[in-house]
Structure 1
Amino acid sequence: MATTTTTAVTTTPTPDGAGTPAIRRRQRLLFLRNAKAMTGLVIIGVFAVLAVIGPWIAPMDPDALSSDVLSPPSAAHWLGTDHLGKDILSQIMVGTRGVMIVGFTAGILATVIGVLVGVTAGYIGGAGDEALSALSNVFLVIPQLPLIIVIAGQLPSAGGLTVAAVIAVTGWAWGARVLRAQTLSLRRRDFVEAARANGERTWRILTAEILPNLTAIIAAGFVGTVTFAVISQITLAFIGVTSVSDWNWGTILFWAQQNQALARGAWWWFAPAGLCIALLGMGLTLVNFGIDEFVNPRLRSTGLHARELRRRGIRPRIGFTPVVHEAEEGRR
C-alpha cells in the first residue's frame, strides 16, 4: 500500500517574534509576496489614484448636458450617456472620490476607537475593563444601517463625512472585543512581564510590546470596516436617502433605476458603476485573505511554500500544514 511521507519539521515563530532572523525576515515579506494581497492592493491603489485625480482628468463636467441622450459607448462618450446626455465616465471618475473618502475615513476612525478601547480594556483589567467592555457591548447591539438611514434622513444636507462618522461610531465595537481578547492573552507573556519589571511606562509597553503583535488583527478589522462603509454609502445613495446631487457610484445607480435603464436596454448606464463596486469589493476581500494567511500559521506555512507544493503536485487542504527543514530554509 502506498504511503505519504511528510518532508520534515520546522519551528513556527511565536507571536512575540521568536525564531531565527531569516524566518522573521521571510514572514515580514510574506504579505507582500502573497499574490492575493498584492492583487488587492493594486486594485485599491488604482481606485485611490482615481479618487485623487479623477475630477481633474474627467473628460467633462458630470452635470453637463449634451444632445447625445441615452447614447451607447462611442468615441465621444466612452461609457455612453444618461437620459439627459450626461457623460457616464465623468460621473464614475468624479464619484470615486466620495466612495473612497467615506470608506477610508470610517475605517480609520473606527479602527482608532476600537484600538483605544479594546487594548486599554484588555491591559488594565479590573473595573476599567468591566466599564469599557460594557460600553463595547452596548454599541455592539446597535443596528448600524438603520441608524445611518435615520440620521441621514433627518439631515438632508448630510454629506459623506457625516455618514463616515456614524459608521465609525457604531462600527468599532466588534474590533474592540477582538483586540481586548488578544490583549488579555498577551499581557502575561514573558516579554511583557520583562518590560514591566524593567520599569517601562504603560504607554511604552502598549505601543512597543503589545500593539506590534496586534498589527494583522487591526489591519483585518480596518479592511472589514472600509468594506462595510463603502457598501453602506452606496446603499444609502441608491435608495435616495443621501443627497442625489453628490456624485458617487450609488448615485449613478439611483438615477439609472429611477429612469428604468434596465427596461430601456441602457446597460452602459448601470454596468460600469456595478463593475467598479465589484472590483473594489474584490480588492478589499483579497487584501483580507492576504492578512488571514499572514496571521494563521497553517495558511502562512502553505503560502510560504506554495510554489514548491505546486511543483510536487501537492494540493493543500483544510488541516494541512506543509513544513520543511530549517537547513533547506537556509539554502533558499
Structure 2
Amino acid sequence: MASPLFRSADLVRNRPLFFGLALLGTICLLAVIGPLVVDPTGARVGATIPRQPPSAEHLLGTDGQGRDMLTVLIHALPNTLKIGFAAGLISLSVGVTLGLLAGFIGGIIDTTIRLASDVMMTIPGIAILVLVAANVREMTVELMAIIVAALSWMVATRTIRAQTLSLRERGYIQVARLNGSTGLKLVFVEVLPNLLPFIAASFVITVSGAMLATIGLEALGLGPQNDLTLGMTIYWAQFYGAILRGMWWWWGPPILVISAIFVGLMLIAMGLDAFVNKRLGGNT
C-alpha cells in the first residue's frame, strides 16, 4: 500500500532537501510580499536619474533607462517564477498523464507515446523555442510558459512510464486486482500514491529546465517585452553595454537571484533523489 510522501524526521535528516526548500521558499515569499510593499513607479523608464551606482537612495543603483534596480528586481522576480512554475506544472501534468497511460495500459498506446517522446527528445528544443518565440506577435508571461511547457514534457513522461511499468508488477497491485480494483481506481488508489516522490522529483527537474530555457530565450531578447522578468533585465543590460561600462549593479543582482533559484532547485533535486533511492531500496 502507499506510504506517506514525507515524514518530518525524514525532512530534518535530509539536509539538501531542507535547505533547498528553505532557500526557494524564502525567494517565493519575497516574490509574493515584495511587490506589495515596493512602489512599482521606480521600475518605470525615466523614473529617476539613469546610470547611478548603488547608494543610500538607490540600494542597487539605477539602469541606463532611469529605473531603480531594486524595484525592477522585486517586480521581475514574480514573473520569472510564474513562467518557470507554470511551465513545469503544465508539462508535468501532460507527462504524468501520458506516462501513466503508457505504463499501465501498454500495447499500442505505450508504443505511440514512447515513440512520440523519443522523437521529441531528438529535436533540438532551443531551436524550436527560438523559432516560435521570434514569430509571435506579442510575447506574454502566460504564452511563454505554454511554449516552454510544450517542449519539456518528455522527461516526466519517460520517468513516470518507467516507474509505472515497475509498479504494476508489484505484489500489492496483483492483490488489489484480485480484490476487484480495476481501471481508474487501481491507478489513483494503488499506483499514483507510490509515484508521488517520482512526480515531485520530476517537477523540480522540469521547473529547472523550463526556467533555463526561459532565461535563455530572454537573454536573446525573445521574452516578454511589456513585463518585467529577470532574464529580460539581463538582456537590456547587455543591449545597452552595461558590462563594458562597468555597471555591474545592472546585471549582477539578477544573475545572483537566478543563481539562488537554481541552487535551491538543485538542492531539492538532490534531496528528492536521495529520498527516492531510499524508497526504491525499501519499497516492496
Give the alignment's TM-score, normalised by structure 1.
Answer: 0.78
How far apart are the structure 2 equivalents of 1:98 and 1:278? 16
Structure 1 residue aligned with 2:206: 225
Q: Deviations over 1:135-193 (max 9, x none)?
A: 22232223222111111111030212222112222211122112111111111211001
SS at match of 2:211: helix
Root-mean-square deviation (CA), in Å? Answer: 2.3
8 Å Cα contact 1:293-1:299 kept in structure 2: no
Q: Return the offset for 1:46.
A: 1.9
How far apart are the structure 1 equivalents of 2:235 and 2:6? 47
Deviating above 3 A after TM superposition, structure 1's stretches of 4 or more consecutive aligned residues are: 24-29, 298-301
Structure 2 residue aligned with 1:31: 11
Structure 2 residue aligned with 1:82: 63
Report the AA paired with residue 180 of structure 1. Answer: R
Q: Which runs of 5+ in 2 are unaligned?
A: none
1:52-201 counterparts in 2 under 5 A? Answer: 52-61=32-41, 62-201=43-182
Structure 2 residue aligned with 1:50: 30
Change (3 A) 1:299 1:266: farther
Q: Which runs of 5+ in 1 are unaligned?
A: 1-14, 18-23, 302-332
* Farther-moved stretch of structure 1 (88-97 vs 196-205): 196-205
Report the AA paired with residue 239 of structure 1. Answer: L
How far apart are the structure 2 equivalents of 1:25 and 1:156? 44
Report the AA paired with residue 137 of structure 2. Answer: P
Structure 1 residue aligned with 2:195: 214
Structure 1 residue aligned with 2:233: 252
Q: Deviations over 1:98-135 (max 9, x none)?
A: 11111011111111111111111111122222222222
1:254-293 counterparts in 2 under 5 A? Answer: 254-293=235-274
Q: Return the offset for 1:292.
A: 0.8
Q: Return the offset for 1:85.
A: 2.0
Q: Deviations over 1:29-60 (max 9, x none)?
A: 41354221121112211222232233322244
Change (3 A) 1:60 1:124: closer
8 Å Cα contact 2:141-2:227 kept in structure 1: no
Report the AA paired with residue 275 of structure 1. Answer: L
* Farther-moved stretch of structure 1 (66-75 vs 196-205): 66-75
How far apart are the structure 1 equivalents of 2:34 and 2:135? 31
8 Å Cα contact 1:108-1:222 kept in structure 2: yes
SS at match of 2:243: helix
Q: Return the offset for 1:300.
A: 8.9
Give the alignment's TM-score, normalised by structure 2.
Answer: 0.91
How far apart are the structure 2 equivalents of 1:159 and 1:128? 35
Change (3 A) 1:85 1:158: closer
SS at match of 1:286: helix
* Higher Rg of the two aligned structures: 1
* Farther-moved stretch of structure 1 (99-108 vs 140-149): 140-149
Q: Return the offset for 1:27.
A: 5.7
How far apart are the structure 1 equivalents of 2:5 and 2:142? 39
SS at match of 1:121: helix
SS at match of 1:93: helix
Report the AA paired with residue 179 of structure 2. Answer: N
SS at match of 2:139: coil
Report the AA paired with residue 103 of structure 1. Answer: G
Change (3 A) 1:121 1:72: same
Q: Return the offset for 1:291.
A: 0.1
1:297 aligns with 2:275: no
8 Å Cα contact 1:36-1:289 kept in structure 2: yes
Change (3 A) 1:129 1:60: closer
Q: Return the offset for 1:204.
A: 1.4
SS at match of 1:260: coil
